[in-house]
Amino acid sequence: MSTDVGTRTRITAGALEAIRAHGVETFPHECCGAMISVGGVVVDAFRLPNTTAEGAARRFRIGPSDYRASEARARELKGELAGFYHSHPDHPARPSSHDLEQAWPNFSYVIISVNASVAGDITCWYLKDDRTAFEQGELICHTES
Ligand SMILES: [Zn+2]
C-alpha cells in the first residue's frame, strides 16, 4: 500500500484509549492484547489473558491459543492482525530483552508505560529483519472521519 509499512502504525483514538484503559485496569500487572487493523489502521485492541507462568507483573507471553483467537478476531472484523500491545507497570515504555525473545517479524509491538495506575508514554516497535533488536516506529493517531 505504501512504503512506510513496517515503521508506522496508524491507530484510531478509540483503540489507543482502549489500550490505555486496559493497562490502567490491570496495574500493577501487565496487560496484553492484539491489535487488529482494517484498511491499514488499527481499529481494535483485542484483550488477551496474560498467560505467563512467571508472574504477570514482570512478563507477558502470547500463547498459541491467543494467537489463534487474535486471528479469529481479525477475520471477524474483516481485517488483519497488525501486532500486539502490552503494558510495563512502573517501567519505561521500552522493550525488554524478554520482549525481544518473544517478538515475531512483521508485527507492530506497542508498549504502554503505566506508573502508579496512571497511563504514561505509549511507544511502538518493530523487530529488525535480522531479529537482533527492535527499531522504534511511529504511532500515529488516526482521526476517524
Ligand atoms: Zn515488555
Q: pLDDT per residue over 5-41, tens digit each? A: 458 999 999 999 999 999 999 999 899 999 999 999 9
Left if phi > 0, otherwise alpha if psi is -120 to 50, otherwise beta: which for 55?
left
Q: How far is the CA of 145 from the centre of ligand 1 (A)?
A: 33
Q: What is the pLDDT of residue 21?
A: 97
Burial 1-25 (b: 16+ CB within 10 A, else e): eeeeeeebbbbbeebbebbbebbbe
Mean pLDDT of 73-88: 97
Domain locations in the chain? 3-142
Query: pTM, whole model, 2 decimals?
Result: 0.90
Please provide the CATH number assigned to the domain covering 3-142. Answer: 3.40.140.10
Q: How far is the CA of 13 from the centre of ligand 1 (A)?
A: 22
Q: How far is the CA of 76 from the centre of ligand 1 (A)?
A: 28
Q: What is the pLDDT of residue 1?
A: 40
Q: How far is the CA of 77 from the centre of ligand 1 (A)?
A: 27
Q: How far is the CA of 40 from the centre of ligand 1 (A)?
A: 24
pLDDT tens-place string over residues 118-145: 999 999 999 998 899 999 999 999 886 5
